[in-house]
């Protein structure tokens, strides 16, 4: 069985409709993906290469090969991966702190992209690296990767519809008084030369809800849920609220207790692109955050 094949049997209700309409309605293919599939002759009806203006009849079998010919220009590099889940469309990885997701200007290696490219190369695959959610280098936790343009767009559509749930844990400076709350403040990128973001009326809408998990003497452990997915959203919102993440040198202060921002993407819920099955993943806090919480618990005893 070819994992790259999508198929659909035309039912009587679809009789005499155009192939392109069925592909958009039933197979959920975007216009840009449809264009690439046509260019590479990946669309067939009853085993024959077909144009998208073909009129379908009941019983026709539509098959689409979403395995596009792509060139991955990222250098493969062996870096151990903590893979929590993999199917024909998705790869779920538990990223450690200190590992950048993408190469940046002047630095071509040592990233998650290099590691995943190596993993795929060992399987004889040439696939573009398509992370659907991105974590900062010093944020740990769950990263979702689409294994094709089809999968990437299907999950991105879920993000836009708000059906993906992402939960984080963060240890913040200060004692948060409210047990729960919502931060609804727009976030902008005022200076393109800098990586930092800021709350600004001209920015894009951003919503973060939080719940207190535990209060320490001078710190608070929070559970956070993203209503939107802006760059640095949690870090910016918590800093604006007066509770910067412990160790966040960009939006708060450095810490003697931890050498990074104490932020972890611990839960992810989504639908499998083809089957619609609900997938839920959880990963526990990494060692440095666990040790920090244990230390704070002992200090307050």
Q: Write the secondary structure of 124-154 as one string of H (helix), E (strand) and C (coil).
A: CCCCCCEECCCCCCCCEEEEEEECCHHHHHH
Domain hosting 208: range is 83-299
CATH code of 123's domain: 3.30.2350.10
- Position 73 in a domain: no
Calculate the alpha carbon distances from 191 to 94, 196, 255, 258 in Å: 31, 8, 26, 28
CATH code of 47's domain: 3.10.290.10
Does residue 49 sit in the same domain as residue 190?
no
Residue 136 annotated in active site: yes
Cβ within 8 Å of residue 241, ≥6 positions away = 183
- Position 17 in a domain: yes
Does residue 48 sit in the same domain as residue 150?
no
**Tokens representing residue 130 in the block:** 């398509």
Query: What's the total number of domains in the chain?
Result: 2
- Position 77 in a domain: no
- Position 74 in a domain: no
- Position 42 in a domain: yes
Q: Could you tell me which of 102, 99, 196 has the C-alpha nearest to residue 140?
A: 99
Choosing from 16, 34, 65, the residue where a domain stops is 65
The Cα 29–Cα 6 span in angstroms is 10
Which residues of the chain are modeled with pLDDT < 70? 1, 300-301
Does residue 55 sit in the same domain as residue 151?
no
State the pLDDT at residue 300: 63
Cβ within 8 Å of residue 183, ≥6 positions away = 206, 207, 208, 209, 210, 237, 238, 240, 241
State the pLDDT at residue 297: 92
Strand ranges for 179-300 from DSSP E: 180-184, 187-188, 198-199, 207-215, 219-226, 263-271, 278-282
Q: Could you tell me which of 237, 266, 294 has the C-alpha nearest to residue 92?
A: 266
Does residue 214 sit in the same domain as residue 264?
yes
Q: What is the pTM of this model?
A: 0.90
Which single residue is written with the structure tokens 């098959």? 63
The Cα 81–Cα 94 span in angstroms is 8
- Position 78 in a domain: no
Does residue 182 sit in the same domain as residue 227?
yes
Contact 132, 120 (CB under 8 A): no
Annotated active-site residue in 60, 136, 173, 248: 136
The string of DSSP letters for 92-112 reads EEEEPTT-BSS-BTTB-SSBH
The Cα 235–Cα 222 span in angstroms is 12
Does residue 61 sit in the same domain as residue 33?
yes
The Cα 293–Cα 264 span in angstroms is 13
Contact 148, 129 (CB under 8 A): no
Choosing from 65, 96, 113, the residue where a domain stops is 65
Residue 55: Cβ within 10 Å count: 11
Residue 209's DSSP bridge partners are: 182, 225
State the pLDDT at residue 115: 97
Calculate the alpha carbon distances from 175 to 46, 139, 246, 263, 294 in Å: 65, 22, 12, 17, 17
The Cα 185–Cα 181 span in angstroms is 13
The Cα 160–Cα 277 span in angstroms is 18
Contact 63, 5 (CB under 8 A): yes
């Amino acid at each position: 069985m070819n994992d790259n094949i999508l198929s659909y049997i035309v039912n009587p209700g679809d009789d005499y409709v155009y192939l392109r309409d069925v592909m958009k309605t039933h197979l959920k293919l975007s216009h840009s993906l449809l264009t690439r599939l046509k260019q590479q002759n990946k669309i067939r009806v009853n085993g024959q290469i077909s144009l998208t203006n073909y009129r379908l009849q009941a019983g026709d079998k539509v098959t689409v090969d979403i395995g596009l010919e792509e060139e991955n220009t990222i250098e493969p590099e062996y870096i151990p991966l903590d893979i929590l889940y993999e199917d024909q469309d998705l790869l779920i990885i538990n990223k450690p702190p200190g590992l950048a997701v993408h190469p940046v200007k002047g630095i071509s290696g040592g990233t998650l992209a290099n590691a995943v490219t190596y993993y795929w190369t060992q399987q004889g695959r040439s696939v573009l690296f398509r992370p659907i959610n991105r974590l900062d280098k010093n944020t740990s936790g769950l990263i979702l990767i689409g294994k094709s343009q089809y999968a990437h767009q299907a999950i991105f559509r879920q993000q836009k519809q708000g059906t993906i749930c992402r939960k984080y844990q963060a240890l913040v400076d200060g004692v948060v008084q409210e047990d729960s709350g919502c931060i609804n403040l727009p976030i902008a990128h005022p200076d393109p030369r800098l990586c930092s973001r800021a709350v600004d009326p001209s920015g894009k809408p951003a919503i973060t809800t939080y719940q207190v998990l535990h209060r320490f003497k001078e710190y608070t452990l929070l559970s956070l849920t993203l209503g939107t997915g802006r760059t640095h959203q949690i870090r910016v919102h918590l800093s604006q609220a007066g509770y910067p993440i412990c160790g966040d040198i960009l939006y708060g202060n450095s810490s003697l207790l931890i050498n990074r921002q104490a932020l972890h993407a611990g839960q992810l819920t989504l639908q499998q692109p083809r089957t619609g099955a609900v997938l839920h993943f959880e990963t526990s806090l990494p060692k440095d955050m666990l040790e920090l919480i244990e230390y704070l618990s002992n200090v307050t005893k």
